[in-house]
Amino acid sequence: MTSSDTTLRRPPVDAARITDLYRQLLGALGEDPEREGLRGTPERIARWWQEFLDHDPGRTDTVFDEELTAGTEQMVAVRGISAWSLCEHHLLPMRLELTIGYRPCESVLGLSKFARIVSDHAHRLQLQERIIDGVATDVAKATGSADVGVVADGEHLCMSMRGVRQDQARTLSHSFSGAFAGHSPLGDRLLAIATGHGRQ
């Protein structure tokens, strides 16, 4: 599975049009896009949009077959996965730190694939809740496990640099399925790991 399998179909970024639109925006803001300091800025921004939205995380589904002891309460948890995304409501950045857990069946997912899956979902205009749901779905699909949990701790610049300007506020959200769902010990354990109050 690659980003082409999971990313919503959309046309590639139109860099020339974005460049022109940013020139117009600078003019509307009372700036001269040809002045020293702004010269080349519209082109740089267009390249950034290409890099962000046309991002390819590579393969996200590499698994390794393992003979796991039947009946064990084994959980794989990866924490400290950080990602930047853009809030679709204000086009301002959000920084997320994610913890992902699952109960392996007959195979385990390559550890780097967790970061690739997160990257695939973060490189879009997004909502924190949609990111964790998408990551949980892709981890379940890749591992074949129905028991998946994803926790995200997010800082949203749309809240910290505008409006109420609460720069210490954080948004904690989770998406749990199977044995992680409800008020389950496994879900509680993953939340504790994600918030630094538990042992992996």
In a domain, 4, yes or no: no
| pLDDT value of residue 99 | 98
CA atoms of 106 and 119, how far apart (whole Å) = 25
In a domain, 3, yes or no: no
Q: Is the dihedral of CA 173, 178, 179, 184 positive or negative?
A: positive
pLDDT in tens, the chain (200 residues): 444 444 456 789 999 999 999 999 999 999 999 999 999 999 999 999 999 999 888 877 777 766 655 555 689 999 999 999 999 999 999 999 999 999 998 788 999 999 999 999 999 999 999 999 999 999 999 999 999 999 999 999 998 888 888 888 899 999 999 999 998 999 999 999 999 875 54
In a domain, 35, yes or no: yes
Helix (H) or strand (E) holding 36: none
In a domain, 117, yes or no: yes
User: Same domain, yes or no, for 68 and 49?
Assistant: no
User: Same domain, yes or no, for 168 and 110?
Assistant: yes
Encoded tokens for 65 = 């077959």
3-state SS, residue 81: strand
What CATH number corresponds to the domain at position 118?
Answer: 3.30.1130.10
Residue 120 structural domain: 63-194
| pLDDT value of residue 130 | 97
**Contact yes or no for 135/150 (Cβ under 8 A):** yes
| pLDDT value of residue 69 | 54
Angle between helices 128-143 and 111-122 (to 10 degrees): 140
User: Same domain, yes or no, for 88 and 187?
Assistant: yes
User: Same domain, yes or no, for 91 and 151?
Assistant: yes
pTM: 0.86
| Residue 33 CB burial class (10 angstroms; 0-12, 13-18, ≥19) | middle
In a domain, 2, yes or no: no
Quick one: which of 188, 147, 194 has its CA closest to 171? 194
Structural domain count, the chain: 2
User: Same domain, yes or no, for 72 and 94?
Assistant: yes
CA atoms of 200 and 198, how far apart (whole Å) = 7
What CATH number corresponds to the domain at position 38?
Answer: 1.10.286.10
